[in-house]
Each structure stands twice: as C-alpha cells, then as structure tokens.
C-alpha cells in the first residue's frame, strides 16, 4: 500500500516537473525574430511588403504556432505608407509618393523596440 502511494506521488511530481520543463524551455518565447518579405531597403511606389514576427524558444527553434502581439508605430513618413496587421504579419503598402519611412515595432516578448527604415523610389 505504501509503495503504491509513493509511486503515485512520484508519478505526479514527475509529470509536473516534465510539464514545467516542456513549457519553460520548448514553448516559451525567449526572443523575437523578424523576417521581411524583401531584403532590399529600397521599395517601389505602390508596392507591398510584409514583416513576419517569429517567436524563438530557448533552443533557438521557431515557434510558428504562437501569436505575437506587437505595437507598431510610424516614426517618420506617415503619409507615405499604410499599415495593416494580420496574425504575426505587419503588412506595409506604399503609396504613390517618394521618400523615407521609419517604423518601430515593439512585441510583447521583447524588451527593446526594433526600427525598420525603408526608402520609397519611383523606379
């Protein structure tokens, strides 16, 4: 009887510790990585780009199933672009004007914001 109770208690503690380990190291977001759809910093008028925010766990693996809420602020060039957000994507539609714009992104899992600078040209 005592062995059965100890085994049950041991199993419960082991399941709790394993669950904590999996949640803390595999499912928690430690860092946020940004993946722009284009590598160029120079865009054309009336074009569209997207920036994906991807969560990274403690092993450096991407967590594509986690949604990351982020605040997006236009620092410069408010009249040059139109911003929309969908899930983990920030979609930027450039208008028919030339110039430079800067956006600042602050995800909920990051301490410091990240700034993106693009130039719009009429090529």
For 70-100, the pLDDT digits (tens) are 899 999 988 999 999 988 899 999 988 899 9
The reported pTM is 0.78
Taken in order of first residue, the domains within the chain and their CATH numbers are 2-121 (2.60.40.10)
Among left, alpha and beta (phi > 0; psi -120 to 50; other), residue 71 is: beta
pLDDT tens for each residue of 41-77: 888 888 999 999 999 999 999 987 888 888 999 999 8
């Amino acid at each position: 009887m005592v062995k059965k109770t100890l085994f049950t208690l041991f199993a419960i503690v082991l399941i709790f510790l394993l669950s904590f380990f999996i949640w803390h190291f595999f499912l928690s977001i430690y860092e946020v990585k940004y993946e722009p759809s284009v590598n160029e910093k120079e865009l054309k008028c009336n074009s569209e780009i997207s920036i994906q925010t991807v969560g990274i766990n403690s092993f450096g693996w991407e967590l594509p199933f986690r949604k990351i809420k982020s605040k997006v602020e236009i620092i410069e060039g408010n009249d040059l672009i139109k911003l929309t957000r969908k899930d983990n994507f920030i979609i930027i539609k450039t208008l028919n004007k030339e110039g430079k714009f800067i956006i600042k992104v602050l995800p909920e899992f990051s301490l410091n914001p990240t700034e993106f600078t693009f130039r719009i040209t009429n090529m």
